[in-house]
């Protein structure tokens, strides 16, 4: 791997790490469920969230079968639109 590729990989890794802490990648869970699945794969997390969470916010994961940077950004935008409808600016 050349220096340019290495720099690109470092930048991509930093971008992924930053996305992990955005609203699109976070959800509300009970403490026991969060502790149980915190290091699990997305497939396991998805199943457990759908089975154990009654929060409407988590129904989003019924339709999602993969989880990557693009999906996190899509969910961020959807959550933003929901928030904007609930709390419109300037009213």
pLDDT tens for each residue of 14-51: 888 899 889 999 999 999 999 999 999 999 999 999 99
pLDDT at 91 over 60: no
Give the per-residue SS3 of 33-58.
Answer: HHHHHCCCCHHHHHHHHHHHCCCHHH
**pLDDT number for residue 11:** 85
Contact assessment for residue 27 and residue 58, using Cβ atoms and an 8 Å cutoff = yes
Closest CA to 45 of 71, 70, 23, 26: 26
Secondary structure element (H or E) that encloses residue 75, with its range? helix 69-86
Rounded to 5 degrees, φ, ψ at 8 are -65, -40
Q: What percent of the chain has pLDDT over 70?
A: 98
**pLDDT number for residue 3:** 83
């Amino acid at each position: 791997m050349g220096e340019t590729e290495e720099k690109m990989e470092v930048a991509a890794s930093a971008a992924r790490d930053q996305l992990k802490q955005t609203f699109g990648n976070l959800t509300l869970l009970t403490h026991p469920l969060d502790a149980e699945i915190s290091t699990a794969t997305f497939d396991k997390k998805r199943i457990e969230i759908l089975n154990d969470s009654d929060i409407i916010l988590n129904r989003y994961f019924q339709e999602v079968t993969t989880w990557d940077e693009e999906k996190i950004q899509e969910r961020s935008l959807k959550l933003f639109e929901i928030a904007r409808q609930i709390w419109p600016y300037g009213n």
